[in-house]
Amino acid sequence: MTLTSPNPGASPHRDLAAPRPRGGVVQSVNDSLVIAKRNLIRMSRIPEMIIFGVIQPVMFVVLFSYVFGGSISVGGSTSPAAYREFLMAGIFAQTVTFATAGAGAGIADDMHKGLIDRFRSLPMARGAVLTGRTLADLVQTTFTLVILAIVALLVGWRTHTSLGEVLAGFGLLLLLGYAFSWIGALIGLSVRTPEAATSGGLIWLFPLTFISNAFVPAENMPPFLRTIAEWNPFSATVQAARELFGNLPEGYPVPDAWPMQHPITASILWSVLIVVVFRTLSVRKYRSATA
């Protein structure tokens, strides 16, 4: 018995072996998840990356809580407990944004080792390499944030709102961290070594986090710096988290700037804008760098 193809001009083997075509969005999502899994497996095999990523924010919690607590006035009160609750949203936000350096260093390392060139030889979506990396960093940041929240509870931090509002606060923090990871991706694609990516990912974060309302009330700053702090996207997320956690001290004056009056909306808008702008720039840089 002989088998005939329904299409006499086509090869039966080719018809059987050809994969079904996938849409662009489906392929991009699947490829991104594969890259994210690859990066998570890699992170799990280098536990010191996770350990050191947790130690630094824990040190900030302990040092700021016990060294500065009681010496900084918040809403007219110098109570260590009041400052501790005021502080924690800033520490959380600093932790998620400092993950930017790790994202940039990881991408720069992949570029340096030629791994990106190997990805280029595969039939995969171009943006999947960067999206997968940022998703893996988001998972690591979530783990770090959970550990940090436990430490904060141990030193006396408390929330005073519903569970849904608390989770929404952490969601805004993670959204900010994800947005900033795209800035790290662009830095990682723009430098030649992982060391340069680490330095480039941190040098601009210090003024961004300290010229904000994270550690001291913006009202204590000179007028010029106060204006910068009030319109800082970092400050908007910190203010939103404090509001959702119920950590705004009684009598704490809310600045007249629009982001401080509507911190939740401002935080979402800032984060989405950063993702859109820096993802576009990162994918464009990735294509030109690997062309």
Long-range contacts of 241-244 (CB under 8 A, 24+ apart): 241/89, 241/92, 241/93, 241/169, 241/170, 241/172, 241/173, 242/86, 242/89, 243/169, 244/161, 244/165, 244/166, 244/168, 244/169, 244/172
- Read off the tokens for 109: 């390392």
List, for residues 178-214, the tens digit of each pLDDT value: 999 999 989 988 888 888 888 887 888 889 999 998 8
* C-alpha span between 258 and 261 (Å, rounded): 5
Q: What is the DSSP letter of 68?
A: I
- Read off the tokens for 50: 């996770």
Which pLDDT does position 98 carry in this prediction? 86
Residue 217 belongs to a domain: yes
Average pLDDT of span 141-164: 90
- Read off the tokens for 137: 């960093």
Residue 50 belongs to a domain: yes
DSSP result, 194-233: HHHHHHHHHTTHHHHHHSSSSSS-GGGS-HHHHHHHHT-H
Average pLDDT of span 140-156: 90
Residue 182 lies in domain: 24-289
Which pLDDT does position 1 carry in this prediction? 45
List, for residues 63-102, the tens digit of each pLDDT value: 777 776 656 666 666 667 778 888 899 999 999 998 888 7
In the beta sheet, which residues pair with residue 74? 77
List, for residues 100-143, the tens digit of each pLDDT value: 887 888 888 877 777 776 776 677 777 788 888 899 889 989 99
* C-alpha span between 144 and 87 (Å, rounded): 17
Q: Which helix (H) or strand (E) holds 279?
A: helix 263-289
Residue 13 belongs to a domain: no
Task: State the CB neighbour count (10 A cutoff) for residue 288.
Answer: 9
Total-model pTM: 0.83
* C-alpha span between 58 and 48 (Å, rounded): 15
Residues 6+ apart with CB under 8 A from 180: 96, 97, 99, 100, 274
Residue 62 belongs to a domain: yes
What is the total count of domains within the chain?
1
Which pLDDT does position 17 carry in this prediction? 40
Give me the sign of the Cα torsion angle 210, 213, 218, 223.
Answer: positive
31 φ, ψ to 5°? -65, -40
Q: What percent of the chain has pLDDT over 90?
A: 33
